[in-house]
Chains A and B, each alone.
Chain A
Amino acid sequence: MAGIYLHIPFCKSKCPYCNFFSVASLKSVNEFLGALYLEINSQKDYLDDQEVKTIYFGGGTPSLLKLSEINGILEKIRTVFSVGKAAEITLEANPDDITAEHLQEWLKAGINRLSIGIQSFNDADLKYLRRIHTGEQAERSIRLALDHGFSDLSVDFIYGIPTLSDRAFAFNLEKVVALKVPHISAYSLTIEPKTLMDVMIRKNQLPGPEEEQSVSQFLFLMQYLGSNNYEHYEISNFCLPGSYSKHNSSYWKGDHYLGLGPSAHSFNGVSRQWNISSINQYSGLIDAGKPHFETELLTPIQLYNEYVMVSLRTMWGAGLDHIQTAFGEGVASYFRSRATQHINNNEMHENAGLFRLTDKGKLFADKISSDLFLDND
């Protein structure tokens, strides 16, 4: 079981907080597509003939692609890899690209899951984030998608925005819960170093996020969605029972995946590799038949650290049995003994050999996992 991630590195405009690789111009779409096709050929053995169960158009803004381009990419993938019949095929879309026409096209192309970048229904927040859609557009895009039969729908929210009051955040959630949107991703506004927003905040041109606010909104998020039957299956992901993102879950369960396109990452169980973050160099290197990615072979310690880091973020937790089989008795007892103080601190709990974070622990997931890490040297 394996997944394919496609990085579509184009956006209408660059959001100042975003550190994904993308460019605000469509002029190199053809160059990109040409290289992407070659890359698909060149990586045909990466997944060892495992059946592809998920395909994910991410970015960037994949909803900017034309129908023919989406069709072309999917066709190409189907000829090179064995894609399962019931494969989950997700497209990330921005509200301003969601029209009845597009929705029909996407359905036709075989897209069966949509992830919409709503962020907020509140115009002040969208303005702070410099998103180009309005709250109204955002709401309309959800209704339209649901009306067109995209029952497997996900929406993205951002909280902890200085303009976002607790009440407005609750209103955002109330609205999607009322619409029975089955999957919700909610991210705490994070100021990534060297982004435009980072610079503006440091120059005092923009208020930065307040920790206190994002803590209370996170706590509310967990409580409110929990009481509305959503499962908190990953730190920033919630869904109605069964509606997990299969693709994203595969990252957290250690499945193999192939990332295609500039800056995309791949994992095959023993190594990770990441493509160069430049359309030009990406296509140049691929054309020249030279490596367009860097690879890192993971040591057992690194594999363990990743397992701890990623699994603890999920509701499935970290399994002592798994640690023991994959990394040995010594590592398992190390994990167990390190975990004890976090259990005593009410940051973790254990049930039948599965270790999970409590709500308190979820606020400190990074600190806890690094504490459970093994030293590299």
Chain B
Amino acid sequence: MKNIRNFCIIAHIDHGKSTLADRLLETTGAISERDYQNQVLDDMDLERERGITIKSHAIQMDYKQEGQDYVLNLIDTPGHVDFSYEVSRAIAACEGALLVVDATQGIQAQTISNLYLAIDHNLTIIPVLNKIDMDAAMIEEVKDQIVDLLGCDREEIIEASAKTGFGIDRILVEIVNKIPAPKGDPEAPLQALIFDSLYNSFRGVIAYFRIFNGSISKGDHVKFNATGMEYHADEVGILRLKQEPRNAVFTGDVGYIISGIKSSKEVQVGDTITHVGDPCKQAIEGFRPVKPMVFAGIYPTDADDYEELRNSLERLKLNDASLSFEPEASAALGFGFRCGFLGLLHMEIIQERLDREFDMNVINTVPNVSYKVFTNKGDVLDVYNPSGLPEPNYIEHIEEPYITANIITKAEYIGPIIKLCMDKRGTLKNQVYLTTDRIELTADIPLGEIVFDFYDKLKSISKGYASFDYHPIGYQNADLVKLDILLNGEIVDALSALITRNNAYEFGRKFCEKLKEFIPRQQYDVAIQAAIGAKIIARETVKAVRKDVTAKCYGGDITRKRKLLEKQKKGKKRMRQIGNVEVPQKAFLAVLKLDS
């Protein structure tokens, strides 16, 4: 056990974590040349296509130093804000962290927030200055920043290039020398923390754990503490590039268990595994449940797939503990789920994963944050669904969640960034020069404004240089309205949105315009209206089709025309009937993509 090291790699997005992991795996021989590809741990198609890490990924390496054999358990983590829950769970399974900083970018917002997560868990931090091979690297300047942030010695910072492999040997040496071996009592009752899980269509539920005390062997009779369910460990093993079965996994190690778990609900990330015969006295402190930031309805495009969608969500939740959902119903879309996400990227990823991994086509409704509604009876309601908003005459007042945003930027972009914060109804709190040309800006902004396109706008006005992190700071008064969309006078509940009055007009107008583009002409005029209560604030009309008949249908036309009409019929099947109006699924998607 004294030769085990558990560490994670943390950093701001794109600073080179996964590439650094490649080098470590390569140097220790954990991956063969045949298996090698860039960012090998980003094994989801979605990660490879987008070039970002979405899931933490654990992998074990063997390493020899001064005649001693070491086992290194590495966890690569994502950098995007929406996935910080992945980082926090990885941290709980480690004693150390490589804090990677891109030498061309310096300390960024998630460098800081992820570092604090690690320090909170008493992890040993090894600072790595990455990408020093690049011309734009500002080696001395960024070292200054790191020294300021960590209070470490300049010499402790390892210069590295995950691209060329420079510095990798030193990183390995320091992992062994600086990061403490796991503590724990191999003889004590089993105590293993589940930090991740996933559903495999052949093997069922697979849980990943870190053993803090005791050991687990194949065939053991084990209990999951929170659910109280008992199982036989059909297979236990360690996580290499593939799962490798072992007879036993010991204290300090990271491994997996397959145990004939029937339902996805039986496994909770953060739960403790112990032996039925010799249980541990206390469960390990699990993870704080994450609070979703954004809510949206998810509906199967084919109403018959509702149960299938529930199954898929449950299975997806195994692998993404930050996803939450509960059933809801919509007159327009039928049965579906109101889901909570950590951000818009998270929402997008969930939708993509449902499609790719579970073959579930879904429609998303307009996302919103959660509001506090104070009724004149004195109740306080959490409202995260437009249909949950009481009638105006029952409402005393409404409050919306605010966050404090920490933005780090080059000084030259400060003007437009301040303007962006103001446009998003923010209040500037503080502005400090970190160095002569780097500023940290603090502002309080309604979360509802952040979840839409704040991040994208910030990136684009700062040419990618500004980074941003945020944390909730409570609720403040809001002038909230429910914006309804009506098709031929009928409210499309799935398109209703909770939105501040100021934004409602522009949003409503864009909404109608967009819908007009996507609703095909029908046999009668279709009126598209946006309304607040009884007040119509925008209107578009889709003119009726007056005829739909091909002029010529002779011998040479029949095949082509039949195929065309068959295709039309297919397209129509994908439409939703709302009142007397047929709405194609892509209209919902287009409306969702509105960048208001």
Residue numbers of A with Cβ under 8 A of B are 5, 187-188, 190, 211-212, 214-215, 218, 234-236, 248, 251-252, 257, 259, 263-267, 272, 274, 296, 302, 305-306, 309-310, 313, 362-367, 369-371, 373, 375-376
Contacts and interface: CB of A to CB of B under 8 A. Distances in A.
Given A187-B551, A267-B558, A366-B565, 20 more contacts: A5-B555, A190-B550, A190-B552, A212-B546, A234-B553, A248-B554, A263-B556, A264-B556, A265-B555, A272-B559, A305-B565, A309-B558, A365-B549, A366-B550, A366-B561, A367-B568, A370-B566, A370-B572, A371-B572, A376-B566
Contact of A363 (B546, B551, B555, B562): B546
A309 B562 CA distance: 7
B273 to A, nearest CB: 46
Interface string B550-582: 111111101101100110111011000000000
B555 A373 contact: no
B523 interface: yes
B547 interface: yes
Interface string B513-556: 00000000001000000000000000000000111111111111
Contact of B565 (A188, A309, A363): A309
A190 B186 CA distance: 82
Nearest to A313: B553
A214 B547 contact: yes
Contacts of A313: 553
Contacts of A5: 555
Closest 10 CB pairs of A and B: A370-B565, A187-B551, A365-B549, A265-B556, A363-B547, A367-B548, A215-B546, A370-B569, A366-B548, A251-B555
Given A211-B547, A218-B547, A369-B565, A236 B523 contact: no
23 contacts: A190-B550, A190-B552, A212-B546, A215-B546, A251-B554, A251-B558, A259-B556, A264-B555, A264-B556, A265-B556, A265-B559, A272-B559, A310-B553, A310-B558, A363-B547, A363-B548, A366-B568, A370-B568, A373-B565, A373-B569, A375-B569, A375-B573, A376-B566
A363 B545 CA distance: 10
Of the four ranges (under 10, 10 to 19, 20 to 34, 35 or more), the interface on chain B belongs to 20 to 34
Nearest to B551: A187
Contacts of B549: 188, 235, 362-366
A195 B545 CA distance: 23
A265 B548 CA distance: 25
B551 A235 contact: yes
A274 B557 CA distance: 11
Given A235-B553, A251-B555, A272-B558, A211 B569 contact: no
A146 B573 CA distance: 51
A366 B458 CA distance: 49
B521 to A, nearest CB: 9
Contacts of A263: 556
**What does DSSP make chain B's interface, helix, strand, loop or mixed?**
loop
Nearest to A362: B549
A369 B558 CA distance: 13
Nearest to A257: B555
A259 B555 contact: yes
Nearest to B546: A215
Given A313-B553, A364-B523, A306 B566 contact: no
A363 B555 CA distance: 21
Given A215-B546, A363-B546, A306 B551 contact: no
A265 B562 CA distance: 14
Contacts, number: 99
Nearest to A187: B551
Nearest to B570: A375
A223 B555 CA distance: 27
A188 B551 CA distance: 6
Contacts of A272: 558-559
Given A309-B562, A364-B523, A373-B566, A211 B546 contact: yes
A223 to B, nearest CB: 16
A144 to B, nearest CB: 26
B176 to A, nearest CB: 60
Nearest to A215: B546
Contacts of A306: 558, 562
A365 B559 contact: no
Nearest to A259: B555
B562 A305 contact: yes
A259 B556 CA distance: 9
Interface string B5-22: 000000000000000000
Contacts of A218: 547
A376 B566 CA distance: 8
A198 B549 CA distance: 18
A251 B551 CA distance: 15
Contacts of B562: 302, 305-306, 309
A364 B555 contact: no
Contact of A190 (B548, B551, B555, B568): B551
A310 B562 CA distance: 9
Contacts of B551: 187-188, 190, 235-236
A367 B545 CA distance: 11
A23 B556 CA distance: 18
Interface string B307-351: 000000000000000000000000000000000000000000000
A187 B554 CA distance: 12
Contacts of A373: 565-566, 569
A149 B313 CA distance: 77
A52 B523 CA distance: 43
A182 B523 CA distance: 35
Contacts of B566: 305, 370, 373, 376
A365 B553 CA distance: 11
Nearest to B567: A370
Contacts of B565: 305, 309, 366, 369-370, 373
Contacts of A296: 559
B575 to A, nearest CB: 12
A215 B558 contact: no
Among A211, A234, A264, A302, which residue has the most Cβ atoms of chain B within 10 A?
A211
